[in-house]
Amino acid sequence: MKLRDLRLIFWIAALLGLLELGLEWRAYQKGWPTQIFGKLEEWAPAGEPEFGPTSDFPFRSRIAPMPKAPGTTRLWVASSSYAEDVQLAPDAIFPGLIETELNAQGIAVDMLNASRGGMDTRANLVDIEELAPDWKPDIAILYQASNDIDVLVLQLLAGESAADEGVVAREDQARSFINPLTFITQWTEGTSAYAHLKSQITTRLTQSRVLEHGLGAEGELRMDELVQSFIDSCAARKIRPLLCTFGTSHDRSNLRDLPADWGDNLFRYNIHLSIEGWIDSVQVYNRVIEKVAARNGVPLADVAAALRGHPEYFRDFTHLSAEGHRVAADAILPVLTGMLKAGTPKPQVQSESD
């Protein structure tokens, strides 16, 4: 075979290479790890870092001293990528905005933003168990839903007991079951083009299946147990909890306006729950949060209500835009300020008879 007979193959390879280069650069700019460019370093000012995470400060917030300064209240945010948001500066996301505003009001606070992408409530509880004794937060803010729902879908609809360990552990476990692959195969599966192709195929196949429209009574019970476990864990460590309802870009009232790619993204890692099922499951979770808060006498910030009806506050179904972070902070601040000024009583650990 002569070289000119391979021109078509070379052209196809060149076009695929250019496509991958463009997709890799786009992914890199969004903060995702890439094969070609690596991973964009998280936002940080020049010189000595003012914000974490660092080796000594494992939180995505302004670096606080250890031990805390006298008269300072420590705030802890337990969430996932919704509150970590590596696409914005730490002081532009709602935990950072809350810290800035409270300090401007003369209320001395340190923010410990313990949120990391992929975490569910059980992973948040592990962090509280392992890190809180050293950092001694006074108030813990929980903003979770979709990752918990994702794990519950695997437990209740897919029958995967491995999901008991949470989202982060499940991803690590899934990798451990993969047989050793060649370097070329591993590299190919790590490219952005492969990820996009896999996502599109998975999405199309998933939507052709009969999907579930909710998690039923058992799902609601498990949600209740998760939120209660957060309150109990805080109470055992003398931390005051603050619960937040969870916002989404769309609900039943404007579902038809949901962008196709936002809906498709819901099927990337979950092939059992319909879009309507996702919306209804988040609504059920928010009702559970309200119920558990009332049952325990715990303060509640209705973030979902503040965000509802404003898709412009989001950059996808669950992740906030810069404006959305401001709205979320404004929804939490009055409740938090009331706790700080009134000294909300700490909840009691519920006994099994309760």
- Say yes or no to pLDDT of 206 above 60: no
**Domain check: are 66 and 171 in the same one?**
yes
* pLDDT grade for 40, boundaries at 50, 70 and 90: low
Q: Which tokens go with 197?
A: 């192709």
Within-domain flag for 128: yes
Tell me which residue range forms the domain holding 26: 7-40
Asked if 227 and 288 count as a contact pair (C-beta separation under 8 A), the reply is yes
**Domain check: are 75 and 23 in the same one?**
no
What pLDDT score was predicted for residue 212?
Answer: 76
Q: Which tokens go with 140?
A: 């813990």
**Domain check: are 180 and 249 in the same one?**
yes
pLDDT, tens only, 309-322: 999 999 999 999 99
Number of domains in the chain: 2
**Domain check: are 99 and 66 in the same one?**
yes
- What pTM, to 2 d.p., does this model score? 0.77
* pLDDT grade for 49, boundaries at 50, 70 and 90: confident
- Say yes or no to pLDDT of 158 above 90: no
**Domain check: are 15 and 90 in the same one?**
no
Report the 10 Å Cβ neighbour count for 256.
Answer: 7
Within-domain flag for 2: no
**Domain check: are 85 and 208 in the same one?**
yes
Report the alpha-carbon distance of residue 91 to residue 58 in Å, rounded. Answer: 16
* pLDDT grade for 280, boundaries at 50, 70 and 90: very high
**Domain check: are 299 and 330 in the same one?**
yes
Report the 10 Å Cβ neighbour count for 346.
Answer: 16
Mean pLDDT of 158-179: 45
- Say yes or no to pLDDT of 180 above 50: no
CATH number at residue 57: 3.40.50.1110
**Domain check: are 218 and 276 in the same one?**
yes
Report the alpha-carbon distance of residue 33 to residue 55 in Å, rounded. Answer: 20
**Domain check: are 245 and 327 in the same one?**
yes
pLDDT, tens only, 83-140: 999 989 999 999 999 999 999 999 999 999 999 999 999 999 999 999 999 999 999 9
- Say yes or no to pLDDT of 205 above 50: no
Mean pLDDT of 32-61: 71
What pLDDT score was predicted for residue 342?
Answer: 77
What pLDDT score was predicted for residue 30?
Answer: 56
Assign 65 to helix, strand or coil: coil
